[in-house]
Amino acid sequence: MKTIISSLAIISLALLSCNHSNSNEKTAAKQESPINVIFMIGDGMGISQITTMFYYKESESQFNHFQEIGFINTSSATNKVTDSAAAGTAFATGQKTFNRGIGLDIDSLPLPSIVSILQQRGYQTGLVSISSVTHATPASFYAQVVDRDMEETIAQQLVSANIDFIAGGGLKFFNKRADGHNLLENLTASRYIIDTLDISPIENKSDKYAYIVADNGLPQKHKGRGDFLKDATKQALTKLSASENGFFLMVEGSYIDWAGHARDEEFLIAEMLDFEDAMAVAIEFTKQNPNTLLIVTGDHETGGVSVGKGNSKDEVKIYFNTDQHTADLVPVFAKGPGSDLFKGFYHNKDIYHKIIEALTE
């Protein structure tokens, strides 16, 4: 009898320890799932734009912080060479669509964006851009219109999108509209704190914030924009991280694309350095908050940029092969829980599915 009891004791101990290790594994697996997502898009940022930061930046490039790297095909449903509307829609909805279309499928039917899906799960959401907040890339995360130029309609849709933190330009689409409405009043009625001048510090983390600080886009970095992108990213993280339910933040370095269109080397380097400054803020945040998945990519390449021979053997020079977007594959950098999902070759639309998978695991 004694033997039987001690055997039982051993078995139940074994079962207990087995259960114990199972629950430990579950806890460990749970910790592997990210709670927060920071998604940074360098508009027009291909591999050569990133390469410039390894030759033209005096300090270490922020891209050195990443181990998990993949490549995306950026083509849209209709064009090998995408525009930012179709590319943004692929990121935000998981479906490729037609060029110029925002938040719609190929048949012009509305698609739910990752912002609205995560809002339903209790996430805080934020969008930061230096172009108009109604411009193609940020608009893809909340709007549904057949053409990206319908920015007054897009502004109307932003008012009802319930996004917790908004920063960028585009004031005229809110307060100088053809219909005479002043949407800033609607934002106030929806309990937004509005700042039309600068990124002032967050005072009450339970308020929603809309910083819409320029009539159209903000100035170019080398023409006096200052630290808007970095400061807005910092304030967004302060505001959004106050919630324990997790958050989704999209940050766009919008003018890397414009520099490619302009075939302007100085413009390009200034915008890349500015994007790096915002990345530094995000990377520092992931160090303090390791349950954050950070993804950095471009929506397409612009300018057919290459870094080639300079005037001497110690110099390189930036060459532009076109003033248009290209079909180049674009790298994806990921860091934090779920980042291994982002390795390999895939399509731009898969980023959406990988984020959802990382959050659901």
DSSP 8-class letter at 104: B
Burial of 287 (0-12, 13-18, 19+ CB in 10 A): exposed
The two tokens of residue 105 are 């499928």
Q: Give the residue at shortest CB distance from Zn ion.
A: 257
84 is catalytic: yes
SS3 346: strand
Q: How far is CA 352 from the centre of its chain?
A: 11
Distance CA(254)–CA(45), nearest Å, equals 9
Decide: 96 and 348 in contact? Cβ < 8 Å.
yes
Contacts with Zn ion by CB under 5 A: the residue count is 1
What whole-number distance in Å separates Cα of residue 147 and Cα of residue 151?
9
Minimal distance, residue 102 CB to Zn ion, in Å: 15
Alpha-helical (H) ranges within 56-192 are 84-93, 114-120, 136-139, 151-159, 172-175, 183-189
DSSP tag of 178 = T
Q: In whole angstroms, how close is the CB of 26 to Zn ion at the nearest point?
A: 46
What stretches of 289-325 show up as alpha helix (H) in DSSP?
none
- Closer residue to Zn ion in complex, CB, 44/103: 44
Burial status of residue 230 (CB atoms within 10 A of its CB: 0-12, 13-18, 19 or more): buried
Q: Kindly tell me which of 252 and 257 has the beta carbon lying closer to Zn ion.
A: 257
- The rounded distance, in Å, linking the Cα atoms of 290 and 199 is 26
Phi, psi of 107, rounded to the nearest 5 degrees: -95, 15
Work out how close the CB of 303 gets to Zn ion at its nearest, in angstroms, rounded to a whole number.
9
Smallest distance from the beta carbon of 137 to Zn ion, in angstroms? Answer: 10
Q: Are 228 and 213 in contact (CB under 8 A)?
A: yes
Binding mask 255-274 for Zn ion (x = CB under 5 A): --x-----------------
Considering the candidates 76, 84, 113, 131, report the single residue annotated as catalytic.
84
Binding mask 238-257 for Zn ion (x = CB under 5 A): -------------------x
15-40 as b/e, with b when 16 or more CB fall inside 10 Å?
Answer: eeeeeeeeeeeeeeeeeebbbbbbbb
- Nearer to Zn ion (CB atom), residue 272 or residue 341: 272
What is the contact surface with Zn ion in residues (CB under 5 A)?
257
The set of catalytic residues is 84
